[in-house]
Structure formats: structure tokens, C-alpha cells
């Protein structure tokens, strides 16, 4: 089979198979709903993990905080991926409903930003684990950035 031949390329990469039926709408019709389900399950599990992690722990280590942030960004990324799959792929291919492209380009920027944030959280977790493995005795002395939130009510009570 000559892959450089124009007829072969057209047969391999066209939306119509040899019997004349369109392949892409059929594939989208049957393969997108499981992806929607996977995105929904990912969203639910990450939100459960996030809520349990915040409610059940008092002393939050930097690794736990980073893991909880990773769960929230993964939930956001799976939500945005599911929405993008519906409006950018499923509806245009299966039901031939087309939308204006400009808002969806901004939406894609947001979706890709959420995915990049998830990857950066994983990179930070990998770095913390690497430092813990290479210098296990110095792990407790490592300086992690901590956000200190001052409660205005506590400041007023201390002053009185």
C-alpha cells in the first residue's frame, strides 16, 4: 500500500468510508458520551477529595496543601474539558449545531491554563518528593512558602 498516493491518503483520512457512510459523526456519537462520563466522574472524585481533605485535617502539610490544590485544578480542568468536548466537538459533529468561534477560543485558553496549572502542581509535588528522597534528614527543615491570613476579628480582640 502506497501511503504517498493521493487516492490512498484520501481513503485513509476522509470522513467517508468505502461504503459511502460518514465515519466521524458515528464515532463522535458513540465515543463522546463515555468521555463525558469520565470527565464527570473525575470532577466528582476530585471535589470529594478536596472537601474531605479540607474538613478532616487540621495540620495541613505543604504536600497536602499542594495535593488539595492539584485536586481542585484537576476538577476545573475536567469540567472545562467536558464542556469543551460538548460545544466544540459533539454538538457540531453529531447534531450539526455550530457556534461562533471567538468565545470558544477564549474558552480554550482557560481550559489549557487549567491543564498547565495541573501539570505545574504535579511538577511541584515531584520536586518536593525528590527533595524528600535525596535529603530525608533535611526534609523537616525545608522552608516552604506559607500564606498567613490575618483575621481582623482576632486582631481587634488582642488590642482590647
Question: 26 or 18: whose pLDDT is higher?
Answer: 26
Mean pLDDT, rounded, of the chain: 82
Rounded Cα–Cα distance for residues 142 and 127 (Å): 12
pTM, 2 dp = 0.73
3-state secondary structure 131-159: HHHHCHHHHHHCCCCCCCCCCHHHHHHHH
Taking only the tens place, the pLDDT of each residue in 64-111 is 889 999 999 999 999 999 999 999 999 998 998 988 888 889 999 999
9-24 b/e (C-beta count within 10 Å ≥ 16 → b): eeeeeeeeeeeeeeee
Measured over the CA atoms of residue 13, residue 18, residue 20 and residue 24, the dihedral's sign is: negative
Sorting pLDDT into bands at 50, 70 and 90, what band is 8? Answer: low
Amino acid at each position: 500500500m502506497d501511503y504517498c498516493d493521493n487516492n490512498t491518503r484520501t481513503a485513509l483520512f476522509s470522513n467517508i468510508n468505502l461504503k459511502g457512510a460518514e465515519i466521524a459523526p458515528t464515532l463522535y456519537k458513540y465515543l463522546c458520551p463515555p468521555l463525558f462520563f469520565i470527565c464527570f466522574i473525575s470532577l466528582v472524585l476530585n471535589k470529594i477529595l478536596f472537601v474531605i481533605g479540607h474538613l478532616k485535617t487540621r495540620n495541613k502539610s505543604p504536600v497536602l496543601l499542594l495535593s488539595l490544590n492539584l485536586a481542585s485544578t484537576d476538577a476545573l480542568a475536567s469540567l472545562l474539558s467536558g464542556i469543551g468536548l460538548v460545544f466544540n466537538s459533539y454538538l457540531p459533529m453529531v447534531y450539526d449545531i455550530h457556534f461562533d468561534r471567538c468565545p470558544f477560543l477564549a474558552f480554550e485558553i482557560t481550559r489549557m491554563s487549567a491543564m498547565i496549572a495541573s501539570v505545574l502542581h504535579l511538577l511541584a509535588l515531584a520536586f518536593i518528593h525528590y527533595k524528600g528522597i535525596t535529603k530525608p534528614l533535611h526534609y523537616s527543615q525545608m522552608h516552604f512558602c506559607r500564606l498567613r491570613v490575618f483575621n481582623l476579628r482576632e486582631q481587634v480582640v488582642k488590642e482590647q
